[in-house]
Structure 1
C-alpha cells in the first residue's frame, strides 16, 4: 500500500477519534452520556440508525453477495419501510412519554422486573456476540489480504472505538456516525464510478446491465413461496418486517439512537429517512458487487479470492494441479471476454449461450480448486465471497482510493461497534446493575459505572473477535444470530403493547420455551433464518395466550 493510502487511512481514523472525543467533551452527566442530552436532529438520527446497521460486514460481504448471487438479497429489506411506519406511530411516542433510558425499562412497568431482566439478558447475549463479529469480520479479511496480524487488527479497531465511546457515550457515537457515513458513501460512489470507467470500449452502465442480465444477476424479485429459500419477496416482507420491528424497536443499539432526538418528531423523521434510503443504499451496494462481476468478465478474476487458501494449496503437493486449473481458467477467460464484448454489442442469443457454457466451465474449475484447497488443508474455509470486494479494492483501484476504501471499512466497523458498546453498557447499568444490584447510588456513580462497563464490553468484544472463526457469509451470520433471538424479544414487546390481558408469568414462561424451540429448529431444520423471526414471535404470543387462559380458568 502506498504512502498516500496509509496517510488517508490513518488520517481518517485519527479524525474520527478526535472529533468524537472533542464534540462530546462536555458530557458530565448521566443523561448526557446515555441519551446525548436529547440534542440529536432528525438527520443525525437517520444517519446514526443507518450507520449502526451498516457495519463493515455490509461493505465487505454485501458486494460479495451481489457478485455471487445478484440483486436478490435486497428483498431481505422489504419489510423495513413498513416497520419504520409502525415504530413511528407506536414505539417512539411511548418511549418518549416514559422517558426511558432503555427499551426494556418499559417492560417492567407493563409486566414486572423479571421480564425486564430476561429481555435485557437476551439482548446482551445476541448483541454481545454481534459486537465481536463486527470487529472480527473486517479484521480477518483485512489481515488476510493485507498481510496484517489478525489479533493486532482486531485490537486496533476495538481500541479506537473504546477511546471515544468511553469518553463521550451516546453523543460521541452520534457525532462520529455522521462523518463515518459521509466517508462510507464517498468511498462507495467513487468505487462505482471507477468500475464503470474501467469497462472496455466505453461500454457504460447499459452494456454492463445487459451482460449482468445474461448471467442472471439483475433479478431482484422472487415471488416463489419456498420456506427453504432465504430471500424472496414474501420472506422479506414478513420475516424481514418482524426482524426490522424487533431490531429497530427493541434492540437498544438502535433505540438509543432515536431516543436521543430533540423531540418525537425529530426521531420520527430520522426513522422515515431510514425507511426511504435504506433499500436504495443496499441495492446500490449489491449493484456494486454485480459491477465487480462484470469487470471480471473482461479481467481475469482470481480462481480463489481468499489469498490464504491460494498460499496453502500452492505450498502443498497439489500445487501443480492447482496451476493447471489456473491456466485452464485463463484460457476460458480469454475466450469469454471476447464473446462478452460481442454480446453487449449484438445481444445475439447464440453468443449468450456460448458465454453461459464457458461460465459453467469456470464455475466447475472453481469448485475443483476449492476441493484441492480442502484436500491441502481441511480446516480452510472455501467460501470466498467475503473476499471478493476487498481483493478487487487492493488489486484494481488506484492509489488514494485504496486508502479511502479501507477507511470506509474501518469507519463502518467502528460506527456499528461503538453503537453496540454504548447500548450494551446502558442495558447492563440501567436494567441490571442499577435495578437489581445497586439501586440507590448517585448519578455520578452510575456515570462512572457506565464508562467502566463500556470499556469492559469493548474488551469482551475484542477477545471474542480474536477467537472468532469465519462462518459462511458474514452478513448472513450476523442476521442469523439476530433472527434466533429477535423473534422472541419482539413477541414480548407486541404482547406488552397490544395484548393487555396477558400477564408477566405467562409471558415469561412462553418466552423461555419459545427461545429454546427456535434454537432447536435452527439446529435441526433447513428453514430460512428470516422465518425464525416470525416463528419466535408467534410462539411467544400463542403460548403466552394459552398459559394465561389456563391460569385464568384455574382461578375461576
Structure 2
C-alpha cells in the first residue's frame, strides 16, 4: 500500500493500479530469491532507511523559520496536542495511554518479536545462535529510538506546515479529480478560506511574544481549529463526489513535504526510504506466510516429498499469499494511518498466538487439541470485543493471551481425558 501511495503522488496514477503493480514486484523478487533475497535486500534497504531518516530530519530542522528555536517548535506542537506522550488515565477506551502502552505494547512486542515468522525467520537464518541473539537484542535496542526519531520527524513536519502554506488536502490526485465534479466549486471555496486562515495564523505566529502570550496563542488555536474543520469538510466533499478515491490524506503529508520542500537531489533518496521500508516489510510477511504454509500445513497433509517439491510448493504459496495481500490492500482503507492499521490487525491475533507459545513453553501438560479449541474460542472473543469497540486495540494483546491460557486450562480440566 505505502509504495503505491508514493507513486500515485509522483506519477499521478490511480492508487489501485499501482497497488497491483507494486504487489507483483514484491512477489516477483520474493518468489525468485526466497528467504535469501528477502534478507539480502533488507540489508541494503536498512542502510538506505537510516541514511534517509537522518537526512530528512536535518533538512526539516533547517527548513523551519530561523528565529524559531527547537524548544519553541516543540512548544507549538504541544499546543496542538502533538506531544501527548504520557497519558496516565485508566480509560480502557483511550487508545494510547501509559498503561496500554506498557502492558498492551509489551504483549504486542513479545508476540511480534518472539512468535511472528516474519521476525523469527531472520533469527533462524543467522549463522550461529550467538549471531541470532545479537540480532534480536539489536532489534530491541534500536526499535524504540528509531520509532521516537520517526515520530519526532513527523512532529517537526507538522510545525513546518504551521508556517508554510499547506494544501487543504495532501493528495494532489484527489484534488485534481474532485475539482472536475459538481462539488469542485465548494472545494475551491474551502481552499480560499484555508488560505485566509493561514494568513491570519501567520499574524499570530510572527508576533515576538507569541510563545509567552496566552491571548495570541488562544487566537492561533481558534484559527487552527477552524482550519481543521475546513479540512474535514474537504474530505467529505471528496468522499461524496469521488467515492473511489481515498479521502484520508494523513499518509500523504510527508510525501508532499518531500516532493515540494526538499532539494531535488534528496527527493529520490527519501522516496527510496519509504519504498524500501514498505517493500521490505511486505516481502518478509509474504515469505513468512509461504514458509508457514509449507512447513505447518502442506507437509503435514501431503506426506514426505523431496526438497525440490517443497521449493515448488513454497513458490506456489508465495504467489497465493501475494495475491491475497494485493487483494486486501485493494479493499482496505488507510484507516487513520498505515502504522496504526497494521498494529490493529496484528493485535487481533497476536494475543492468541502469544498465548499458544506460552502454553507450549510453560504448560506442557495441556495437549494440542485443547489448545486448538481454546484458540478458536479465544479468537472469537477477541473479535467480538473489537467489533463492540470495548477496549483500545492494544489491550486485545493482553486479553487474547490471558484468555487463551485460561481457556486451554479450563478445557483440559473439564475434559478429563487428554485431548
Q: State the TM-score, normalized to the length of structure 1.
A: 0.70
Residues 324-363 of structure 1 aligned to structure 2 (within 5 Å): 324-342=189-207, 347-363=212-228
Cross-structure match for 2:50: 185
Question: Are residue 518 (structure 1) and residue 405 (structure 2) matched?
Answer: no
Q: Structure 1 residues 374-383 or 526-535, which shifts more?
A: 374-383
Measured in 2, the distance between the counterparts of 1:344 and 1:385 equals: 31
Measured in 2, the distance between the counterparts of 1:202 and 1:189 equals: 22
Cross-structure match for 1:220: 85
Deviations 1:220-256 (A, max 9, x none): 1111111111111111111111111112211111110
Cross-structure match for 1:176: 41
Are the aligned partners of 1:210 and 1:344 in contact in 2 as well (CA < 8 Å)?
Answer: no
Give the Å deviation of 1:202. 4.6
Residues 369-518 of structure 1 aligned to structure 2 (within 5 Å): 369-377=234-242, 381-437=246-302, 439-518=303-382
Structure 1 vs Structure 2 CA RMSD:
2.3
Give the Å deviation of 1:312. 4.1
Pick closer, same or farther for the CA change 1:495–1:223 going to 2, 3 Å: same
Are the aligned partners of 2:246 and 2:333 in contact in 1 as well (CA < 8 Å)?
Answer: no
Cross-structure match for 1:263: 128
Measured in 2, the distance between the counterparts of 1:346 and 1:223 equals: 27
Pick closer, same or farther for the CA change 1:461–1:317 going to 2, 3 Å: closer
Cross-structure match for 1:251: 116
Deviations 1:444-490 (A, max 9, x none): 33233333433443344344444544434222221111111111111
Which 5+ residue runs of structure 2 have no aligned equivalent?
A: none
Measured in 2, the distance between the counterparts of 1:229 and 1:298 equals: 31
The match for 1:147 among 4, 9, 12 is: 12
Measured in 2, the distance between the counterparts of 1:419 and 1:260 equals: 13
Measured in 2, the distance between the counterparts of 1:354 and 1:260 equals: 58
Cross-structure match for 1:548: 412
Measured in 2, the distance between the counterparts of 1:170 and 1:267 equals: 15
Measured in 2, the distance between the counterparts of 1:469 and 1:370 equals: 14
Are the aligned partners of 1:343 and 1:351 in contact in 2 as well (CA < 8 Å)?
Answer: no
Are the aligned partners of 2:204 and 2:216 in contact in 1 as well (CA < 8 Å)?
Answer: yes
Are the aligned partners of 1:212 and 1:294 in contact in 2 as well (CA < 8 Å)?
Answer: yes
SS in 2 for 1:238: helix
Question: Which structure carries more relative contact order (alpha carbon 8 Å, separation 6+)?
Answer: 1
SS in 2 for 1:441: coil
Are the aligned partners of 2:170 and 2:253 in contact in 1 as well (CA < 8 Å)?
Answer: yes
Give the Å deviation of 1:204. 4.3
Pick closer, same or farther for the CA change 1:144–1:199 going to 2, 3 Å: closer
Measured in 1, the distance between the counterparts of 2:43 and 2:134 equals: 16
Question: Are residue 281 (structure 1) and residue 143 (structure 2) matched?
Answer: no
SS in 1 for 2:143: helix
Q: Structure 1 residues 301-310 or 150-159, which shifts more?
A: 150-159
Cross-structure match for 2:23: 158
Cross-structure match for 1:317: 182
Measured in 2, the distance between the counterparts of 1:443 and 1:206 equals: 60
Measured in 1, the distance between the counterparts of 2:347 and 2:19 equals: 25
Following TM superposition, where does structure 1 have runs of at least 4 consecutive aligned residues deviating by more than 4 angstroms?
343-346, 377-381, 466-469
Measured in 2, the distance between the counterparts of 1:335 and 1:152 equals: 40
Give the Å deviation of 1:496. 0.9
Pick closer, same or farther for the CA change 1:370–1:157 going to 2, 3 Å: closer
The match for 1:300 among 155, 165, 184 is: 165
Cross-structure match for 2:68: 203
Which 5+ residue runs of structure 1 have no aligned equivalent?
A: 1-135
Measured in 2, the distance between the counterparts of 1:325 and 1:467 equals: 29
Measured in 2, the distance between the counterparts of 1:486 and 1:324 equals: 46
Measured in 2, the distance between the counterparts of 1:469 and 1:305 equals: 16
Give the Å deviation of 1:492. 1.1
SS in 2 for 1:476: helix
Measured in 2, the distance between the counterparts of 1:369 and 1:164 equals: 39
